[in-house]
Homo-oligomer: A and B are copies of this chain.
Amino acid sequence: MDIKHYMDTVGRQARQAARGLAKATGQAKNTALHAIAAALLREQAVLMADNAKDLAAGQKNGLEAALLDRLALTPARIQTMSDGLQQIAGLPDPVGEITDLHYQASGIQVGKMRVPLGVIGIIYESRPNVTADAAALCLKSGNATILRGGSEALHSNQAIARCIHHGLAEAGLPETAVQVIETTDRAAVGRLITMQEDVDVIIPRGGKSLIARISAEAKVPVIKHLDGICHVFIDRSADIEKAVSVAFNAKTQRYGTCNTLETLLVDAPIAAAVLPTLAAQYRAKGVELRGCAATCALIPACQTATEADWQTEYLAPILSIRIVDGIDQAIAHIDAYSSNHTESIVTQDYTRAQQFLREVDSSSVMVNTSTRFADGFEYGLGAEIGISTDKLHARGPVGLEGLTSQKFIVLGDGHIRA
């Protein structure tokens, strides 16, 4: 297979489809989404048979049990995928939304209209449900999609793609609006991320090394999420009950998510009042604690944290704890070690709450709230294609709005410039 030629054809077809999709009515896009949702349920047996091929190959190639589990399609997972598409169909159409339309002194009316980005390339690993989710979000926002899933999920992704194409055809939309790359050759990714003419943005979803590699090599803009080293800072004036509750929830509600607390910062004057209670709760839950010297002096069975701990996203029942001398030192620690994902302060002090909100440079900054709320659904975005730790374009949870852009529109009545 001539990868360059193949990818260039995919890109050209996507660009062509994007022109049509940008004009598609909300009704046509929703018809397609409902039809895809129905096709996934109808084709359940086929999806599972194709998925079984991937699972068998995975087992043969010694894929870890956790990865095999992520790869597996079950009737329940297919139902969830189908429900997700129905939900996306139910969201308002972002395309064509006009905001801020106002008259200027010259007499022209100036406003902004929301428009699709064009062609979006998605590069992801194992989970086949991403194929349906990502395609649906891009379709709803009027974008053509080029999907490149993990090679271990190739048959599953192609089976899902057939359902997508069926739904697109039923709605009279071009099947090339969603293309799944048919080769597992890595050169296809290399080409995809440099096709500046035909790809407007790349969204990688997967492990840190995948994302770092793509960001380094891409010529096309990348909306990316690196890691989530999230902090909670318990200020000296925190309500102790709220502090314990928020810090416990942020760490233990789920361990493997990017918005999970990884380093707890505690203001020195409140440490003795809050840490022993909190440590007991963490320990009862089986969370390993690694603290600075002052922390270890306050709580039993605390391992000494090293420099590496402050830099680590554990994604596991491990928590590092540091006692700091006031909010400025807390913010300095966050500046130095945070991945700029999500940080929260627990405080009853008005001024310090304001200072934290203003000075912490992360995609989500919270007051008296568990970091676990940093999520597109919890923020009311309706759906989420990922969480961006970038600053340009989209920051934090990325929903339909992050998959669009705004152009200026100007309405006149023969207005000319003097």
Contacts and interface: CB of A to CB of B under 8 A. Distances in A.
Interface of A: 19, 22-23, 96, 102, 104, 106, 108, 110, 113, 115, 117-118, 200-201, 221, 239, 241-242, 245-246, 248-250, 253, 335, 344, 346, 357-359, 361-370, 372-374, 378-380, 391-393, 395-397, 405-417
A211 B411 CA distance: 31
Contacts of A370: 412, 415-417
Contacts of A393: 392-393
Given A108-B378, A367-B409, 13 more contacts: A22-B359, A22-B361, A200-B391, A246-B416, A346-B414, A362-B407, A365-B407, A366-B412, A367-B410, A368-B411, A368-B415, A374-B408, A395-B405
Contacts of A201: 392
The residue in A102, A104, A118 that gathers the most chain B C-beta atoms within 10 A of its C-beta is: A104
A410 B342 CA distance: 10
A397 B118 CA distance: 20
19 contacts: A23-B358, A96-B358, A104-B380, A108-B378, A110-B378, A110-B379, A113-B357, A113-B365, A239-B414, A246-B415, A361-B407, A362-B407, A366-B410, A366-B412, A367-B409, A372-B417, A379-B408, A393-B393, A397-B408
A414 B241 contact: yes
B416 A108 contact: no
A239 to B, nearest CB: 7
Contacts of A362: 407
A104 B357 contact: no
Contacts of A241: 414
Contact of A410 (B369, B391, B407, B409): B369
A248 B301 CA distance: 81
B417 A242 contact: no
A32 B115 CA distance: 39
Contacts of A253: 416-417
Contacts of A358: 22-23, 96, 113
B395 A365 contact: no
The residue in A242, A357, A397, A407 that gathers the most chain B C-beta atoms within 10 A of its C-beta is: A407
Contact of A411 (B359, B361, B367): B367
Contacts of A364: 407-410
A378 B415 CA distance: 12
Contacts of A104: 378-380
Given A391-B117, A406-B395, A407-B396, A414 B245 contact: yes
Nearest to A238: B414
B407 A363 contact: yes
Contacts of A408: 363-365, 374, 379, 395-397
Contacts of A415: 246, 368-370, 373
A395 B393 CA distance: 10
Contact of A391 (B346, B363, B372, B405): B405
B365 A409 contact: yes
Contacts of A407: 361-365, 395-396
Contact of A221 (B118, B221, B366): B221
A392 B405 contact: yes
A229 B125 CA distance: 41
Nearest to A358: B96
B416 A23 contact: no
B414 A335 contact: no
A377 to B, nearest CB: 9
Given A380-B110, A416-B245, A416-B253, A409 B368 contact: no
